[in-house]
Amino acid sequence: MRECGTPNVPTFSALRKLQSQLTREVGIKTEPHTSALGNQFYMNHPLDLLALDWANPLVRKHIQVYPEVTSVIKEVWQADKWLKELDNNQLSPMWANWKDDPHRHFYVNELAQLKDGSFVIPICWVIYQKQEHAEVYRVHHSEDFMPNPIRKVAKDRPVFCLRFMAWCDDVSGNVSKQYNAHMNMYITNANLPHQNLSQEYFVRFCSTSPHTTSLEQFDAMVKDVGKWKEAYDCFLETEILFQIFVHGLPADNPQQAESSSGASLNSSANCRYDTAGGTKEYKETNEGYNSLFNTGTPRTPFSTVQIIEEQIQVACLGVQDAVRIIQTCTGTKDKIAQFWIDKLIPMAREKQKLRFQALTSDAHLNNPKLKGAELDAAKLAIKKEIQVDLMAWLVKQPPDRYALLPEDSDHRFQLRPGDHYNSLMDVIGLNPHLDSPCEILHTYLLGIDKYIWHDTTKDWDKKKEELFAARLQSSSMLGLTLPPLQSRYIVQYKNSLIGKHFKAIQQLAVFHFDDSLCNPAVMDIWKATGELGAMLWIPEIRDLKQYLADLEILIANVLDVWAVHDPARIILKFKLHVLPHILDDIRRFGPAVRFSTEVFECWNAIFRLCSILSNHQAPSHDIGVTIADMERFKHMVSGGSWKVGGIYIQAGPCVRNFLSQNTELQHRLGWVENDLASIKPGSLKLKSLQKRNSLSWTAILQTLQSRQANTQLTEPGNIQGSIWNECKYVVSKARDICTEGSWVFCKDTMNPELACTARIYKILSPSTSKITSDGNRVVILEKFVILNSKDEHMNMPVLLRTDIQFIYALPMDIQFIFNAQHDCLGKKCPVIENATSVRQERNITSKFIPGVIHTDDTRFFVNMHALHNAHLLRESLPRHLVAPVPYFQNRYEKHAEFAASLRITGPAKRATAQARAKETREQNKQKKSKNINT
Ligand SMILES: [Zn+2]
Ligand SMILES: [Zn+2]
């Protein structure tokens, strides 16, 4: 800038100095930690980060302070964990009439008087019908007035609680393919609506480290839980006090297993939720096999800690195998405890060796009369003594942390969470076994979809790949909200697809498989997977009981069709066993998309940039400081307040409005200003002048009649003889962008009681000079009827055009968009060589590729695998067309059949594997001896 002649440019170091001073003032410290395992890392603490949310007007206005009782479940605070399970002392404890009487604070567990003079004791504050309500006890006798102890801490300031989601995973710090392992931890404020949380702006970075495991970082993080912290509430314009709690631990399955102190997903009891599983032989019994289709006995933090303690005790006896057996049988293996176990086993052995060897110095063993059993007993006694010594040593580890314990603390004599095992096992309001909800991106798209895609395509030759690609490319994309398909890429790189590809395949592939591409058993899996997939992605639940009942059948179907195709897969794949657990996750956390990890994965890109730009000497510290600076910048340009010398200040108006007025910055910080509000239901957008036709009504009727339509539509509105302009799209009531050709549910103006299914033909707006009201705009639609029974092969409702019938509807009457696909297989639509010309660099080239030519325009399927508007579609169709049908009536009997077949194939496979292993071992031996001889 100085080079350009700008006056008063500060030096670079002065700028950096001011920046770090401001970051300190705003209150984000990048704090050093040494873990129990001796590793060093830095953390920006959740408590500091979430304090900023109160002072940031762009965030504060969205914070939902109390849980909510609703019939439609969209957000986590409307689901069971928040609403029903939490102790009241983890919920915001008070309420006031902020507008009229902000200083009279009503706390829970205190006597309060209603307007009618009666007395109650509020138990908790909830939102009901958009209004704050209290659940209360009525008080009839005079009872003791107990001031809530929080009042003492609060000192007249309002008090609230926040809950947050803590995400953790290993991420590469490089953009290139060379992996540069880091363990990262991010959080989101769970009191914000999902619409906000799907934006990167709302993801907060806590820590990264190339050396530290997730459990060590969690240990530093959970120290914030339950602590009081002051913050400036820009909505109440006063200082408040708040606490934070962990609500859930979204992550991929291996990470969630680690957070739950689970052994690897290959161990015999590999479920983080329950103790399902067992030996290979057990899993092949009728009972054992069937148990994998269901949820088992839940694990609890208490039982897990007991198992961990047992492992440590056994390690103090010096027997590696015994520890391993406990870990294999129970499926519990804790990363922190393992660190100590690995130390204790050699220590125990060393001590035992010394004691056994030094017979002279040991009075018991020196006795020559000791033999056999007596000798063993004496040895055992020594082992036990050593065990006691080692346990006494262990509880004093790590010494620096032990030294910080109060003199009179019981913790001085016992194993401690964080120091000796996973600290998540002892966090108020958190049960890692239950609160690690199953994540659909990794489990479904990159799990179930990937397995079935692999099984379908593994034997395809080039010809089949080309056939499928041509068919897939011909799919109608209207109403799916998917990016353009790259079907040739999908088949070319069929073994290295990512989530977005599977999202498209799951919704569309099923329409293009004939027997040559996919055998009937596999086709059944595609159908079951698509049907369940659509239900898993729904964003809101209107009728929880019905939804969970339907989901239960659909999950059972997916598992059962897999068992038909390959019974062993149920045993081998955890991602199949985990599906029944989703029911409970949804009941406790709301729709499955609410605990998806997509936004965290997106944030990794920001982390990578910070990582590349650092000098790699102190990555945890440097990246922490860089991101703390970014948080400070975000806070200031969002209009946030911070405290300097006892008063709360804000940046000047130009800086604090920077974000809300600068779309480039919004884009960079991953912030979207309520984009739904800008799309108004019923609004239209005209086509560009070059593409727009302007026609008289008579001319429009002529085009309809040229399609053999038998309808006479009178010109709408009270003005006759208008010129009608074509529009690009109309916005439906559900805020979908509907273009020509889109399939919609709409109200029929001729028959307003009925919603009908139709395809948009033209969207028209009278020429501007004559617009009098919205009522004059009109959408012309082609009506299709839905048959009363589903198509048997596809298991989907059928749209049929009996005769060509055009109707019109007002833009406001377009309810929502849905996706439909032509019945190409039924109508035998051929794939023609050279059907489509290829585009390169935006231009049409002289190259051609094969494509599908549709043979008619009468029969379509309502795409029941489509994710977008899946819930609206299911509400609008008759129940008998959408109700799921169980694949097997008597599941147990069928599972027993499969188990019987496994009892034959399983042992045979194991015998072959063993024989092969033996052979390899012998070959290796021979090679070795040859090498020695030569
Ligand atoms: Zn399980
Ligand atoms: Zn077709």
What are 196-212's pLDDT values in tens digits?
888 888 899 999 988 89
Q: Which ligand is nearest to the CA of 579?
A: 1
- Between 722 and 599, the more confident residue is 599
What does the alpha-carbon distance between residue 592 and residue 540 come to, in Å, rounded to a whole number? 9
What does the alpha-carbon distance between residue 329 and residue 343 come to, in Å, rounded to a whole number? 22
Phi, psi of 760 (to 5 degrees): -70, 130
The answer to whether the Cα torsion of 398, 400, 403, 406 is positive or negative is: negative
Going from the Cα of 113 to the center of ligand 1, the distance in angstroms, rounded, reads 48
Place of tokens 């000098």: 615
pLDDT for residue 584: 94
Q: Which residues contact 775 (CB under 8 A, 6 or more apart)?
A: 716, 717, 810
Q: Which ligand is nearest to the CA of 827?
A: 2
In this prediction, residue 377 has a pLDDT band, given cuts at 50, 70 and 90, of confident
Going from the Cα of 822 to the center of ligand 2, the distance in angstroms, rounded, reads 5
Tell the burial category of 768 from Cβ atoms under 10 Å away from its Cβ (0-12, 13-18, 19+): exposed
Q: Which residues contact 611 (CB under 8 A, 6 or more apart)?
A: 173, 174, 180, 182, 208, 619, 623
pLDDT for residue 448: 93
Q: How many angstroms separate the first and last alpha carbons of the chain?
A: 73
The secondary structure of 771-785 as a DSSP string is ---GGG-EEEEEEEE
What does the alpha-carbon distance between residue 849 and residue 839 come to, in Å, rounded to a whole number? 10
Q: Is 28 helix (H, G, I), strand (E, B) or coil?
A: coil
Going from the Cα of 475 to the center of ligand 2, the distance in angstroms, rounded, reads 9
What does the alpha-carbon distance between residue 655 and residue 637 come to, in Å, rounded to a whole number? 5
Q: Which residues contact 864 (CB under 8 A, 6 or more apart)?
A: 530, 531, 534, 795, 796, 797, 870, 873, 882
Which of 465-479, 507-521, 745-759 comes out lowest in average pLDDT? 745-759
Q: Which ligand is nearest to the CA of 820?
A: 2
pLDDT for residue 336: 93
Whether 207 contacts 214, CB under 8 Å: no
What does the alpha-carbon distance between residue 794 and residue 510 come to, in Å, rounded to a whole number? 8
pLDDT for residue 354: 85
Going from the Cα of 821 to the center of ligand 2, the distance in angstroms, rounded, reads 8
Indicate whether 708 pLDDT > 70.
Answer: no
CB atoms within 10 A of CB 412: 13
Which of 23-37, 357-371, 372-386, 403-417 comes out lowest in average pLDDT? 357-371
What does the alpha-carbon distance between residue 218 and residue 418 come to, in Å, rounded to a whole number? 9
What does the alpha-carbon distance between residue 552 and residue 560 come to, in Å, rounded to a whole number? 12
Whether 325 contacts 333, CB under 8 Å: no
* Ion ligand 2 residues within 5 Å by Cβ: 822, 824, 829, 854
Going from the Cα of 729 to the center of ligand 2, the distance in angstroms, rounded, reads 25
pLDDT for residue 682: 85
Going from the Cα of 814 to the center of ligand 1, the distance in angstroms, rounded, reads 44
Q: Which residues of 228-254 are buried (b: 16+ CB within 10 A; e: fewer)?
A: ebebbbbebeebbbbbbbbbbbbbbbe
pLDDT tens per residue across span 494-505: 999 998 999 999
pLDDT for residue 677: 61
pLDDT for residue 109: 86
The two three-digit tokens of residue 475, written as one number:
């799919």
What does the alpha-carbon distance between residue 199 and residue 603 come to, in Å, rounded to a whole number? 9
The secondary structure of 702-760 as a DSSP string is HHHHHTT----PPPPSS--S-EEEEEEEEE-TT--EEETT-EEEEE-SSSTTSEEEEEE
Going from the Cα of 443 to the center of ligand 1, the distance in angstroms, rounded, reads 14
Q: Which residues contact 474 (CB under 8 A, 6 or more apart)?
A: 824, 829, 851, 852, 854
Q: Which ligand is nearest to the CA of 470?
A: 2
Question: DSSP state, 896?
Answer: H
Short-list 742, 780, 865, 824, CA closest to 478: 742
What does the alpha-carbon distance between residue 167 and residue 247 come to, in Å, rounded to a whole number? 11
Going from the Cα of 484 to the center of ligand 2, the distance in angstroms, rounded, reads 19
Q: Which ligand is nearest to the CA of 823?
A: 2
Indicate whether 717 pLDDT > 70.
Answer: no
Question: DSSP state, 94?
Answer: E
Mean pLDDT of 335-344: 93
Q: Which ligand is nearest to the CA of 294?
A: 1
Which of 177-181, 277-281, 636-640 comes out lowest in average pLDDT? 177-181
Which of 12-16, 572-576, 882-886 comes out lowest in average pLDDT? 12-16
Short-list 31, 11, 50, CA closest to 635: 50
Indicate whether 829 pLDDT > 70.
Answer: yes
Going from the Cα of 509 to the center of ligand 2, the distance in angstroms, rounded, reads 14
H or E stretch at 641: strand 641-644
pLDDT for residue 567: 92
Q: Is 153 helix (H, G, I), strand (E, B) or coil?
A: helix
Indicate whether 750 pLDDT > 70.
Answer: no
Going from the Cα of 499 to the center of ligand 1, the distance in angstroms, rounded, reads 24
Whether 307 contacts 246, CB under 8 Å: no
Short-list 187, 205, 168, 165, CA closest to 76: 165
In this prediction, residue 250 has a pLDDT band, given cuts at 50, 70 and 90, of very high
Q: Is 862 helix (H, G, I), strand (E, B) or coil?
A: strand
pLDDT for residue 791: 92
Q: Which ligand is nearest to the CA of 475?
A: 2
Indicate whether 371 pLDDT > 80.
Answer: no
Whether 511 contacts 824, CB under 8 Å: yes
